[in-house]
Structure 1
Amino acid sequence: MIKRIILLLALGVCIQSQGQGGLSVFENLIGKTWFAEGAWGDGSKFKQEIEFEFDLGGVLVVSKAKGFTNQEQTSYGPRNHGIRKFDTKSNTIKFWEYDVFGGITEGTVKTDGKDIIYTYAYGESEVTDYWKYVDENTYDFSVGNYANGEWQQVYLKTQFKAKNSSKSNFVFDHQSLVVTNLMKAGDFYKEVFGFEEIPHPENKPGFRWFNMYGNSQLHLIKKDFAPFEKNKSMHLCLAVRDLEGFIERLVSKNIDFYDWPGNKNAVTDRADGVKQIYIQDPEGYWIEINTAKH
């Protein structure tokens, strides 16, 4: 059914332009969550939200979409991941859209001013997603059979709006901890977690910096400060795939671990299936280690 395949696609916008990998006009959609809700021609529900971001220095646009993930339209969640790329040879934007069901769809995009005409094939039919620009936070959205500038048939008509036009794309940078024994605390994080020590940019004394993962860092700062309660609710949290292996590492180093209630050598089973333990560093700061997937 044509409506079903369109819903599986959950496609976003690609915009043909010159500049950032041929995708510079796409900037209007970055940093916003685009939401639409409506009904197909047969009365079934349509609900979708999409986010876009540049990747590989602007060479690609990556999209993530949520939508209905079952035929009954009772389950709503992550549905599609897409890639958009400007092809310099054909001077067009091409896309590859992967859905949660294992499908892949390809297509191209043309533009008419600020309107976006998104075309892809389904069987022997050609389908168009038409994003008609209203303002920087609104697009009229139509899906159907569009040819020679006219709609032959419309399957869906609704509107995409930016839910949060001021959203900032933050990335975790670092965690700072004030310590009294810089050497002991630093050696703990290096030996227990295997963090790579990196130089302070100004080579100042009283600092030890570590790279935790990617570009995320841990900064230890030696200072005299008033003692305070190191409550377990205030903690650094790190996820690991092999929790049992990490526990063996703790045991070999005679480091105690606890579950959330405080039982020694116990593991908490969270309601969502994530397992977690808690340990303390030499300064008394709590650290959660869990099995959450990222």
Structure 2
Amino acid sequence: MAAAAQGPCLNHISRETSDIKRLAAFYTEVFGFEQIESPKFDFEVIWLKLGSSMLLHLIERDPTVMLPEGPWSAVASVADPKNLPRGHHVCFYVPEFDSFVQRVKDKGIPVHEQSQPDGKTKQVFFFDPDGNGLEVSSQYPVL
């Protein structure tokens, strides 16, 4: 059993969607998340786990509440990942950056690649099927 955190820590990230199975398939196929047991609610949810510390909670969109979708959607088209608003993304690190980017491209997902001025960190930006911004970095997070 893992030790309890000594203060606040990230519990999970949630994404609301109108097609929960499509979004779950995207995160399992692209990043390798695995589906885990989900509690029962009066709406559909899927919990996904990546490694030992990251949980993604996918939630069926409430059709009675009109919230905006991600930055790229039918009502706010920012389809080119080069134009992804900088504050609207979740970032993942992958150890095999170049092969990961190639796999994403092979799936037909449009990407925007860039490198930081230091030349050490490469980044790729793209969207999930609901228009949520994603970044993948070649740099392991330093805390």
TM, length-normalised to structure 1 = 0.38
User: Do structure 1's residue 290 and structure 2's residue 137 form an aligned pair?
Assistant: yes
C-alpha offsets along residues 149-193 of structure 1, whole Å, 9 cap, x if unaligned? xxxxxxxxxxxxxxxxxxx63332210111111111111111111
- Matched residues in 2 for 1:170 and 1:221: separation? 23
1:174 corresponds to which residue?
A: 12
Q: SS at the partner of 2:90?
A: strand
Letter in structure 2 aligned against 1:206:
E
If asked which structure has higher relative contact order (CA below 8 Å, sep 6+), I would say: 2
Give the alignment of 1:34-183 within 5 angstroms: 169-183=7-21
Q: 1:204 to 1:215 in 2, by over 3 A?
A: farther
User: Do structure 1's residue 199 and structure 2's residue 46 form an aligned pair?
Assistant: no
8 Å contact kept, 1:239–1:292: yes
Q: 1:184 aligns with which of 22, 28, 31?
A: 22
**Alpha-carbon deviation of 1:228?**
4.6
8 Å contact kept, 1:270–1:276: no
Letter in structure 2 aligned against 1:184:
R
Q: SS at the partner of 1:267?
A: strand
**Alpha-carbon deviation of 1:287?**
0.6
Larger strand fraction of residues: 1
Q: 1:188 to 1:228 in 2, by over 3 A?
A: closer
Letter in structure 2 aligned against 1:287:
L
User: Do structure 1's residue 216 and structure 2's residue 54 form an aligned pair?
Assistant: yes
Q: For the pair shown, which has the larger CA radius of gyration, 1 or 2?
A: 1
Letter in structure 2 aligned against 1:282:
P
Q: 1:204 to 1:189 in 2, by over 3 A?
A: farther
- What is the CA RMSD across the aligned residues, in angstroms? 2.4
TM, length-normalised to structure 2 = 0.74
User: Do structure 1's residue 279 and structure 2's residue 126 form an aligned pair?
Assistant: yes
Percent identity of paired positions between Structure 1 and Structure 2: 25
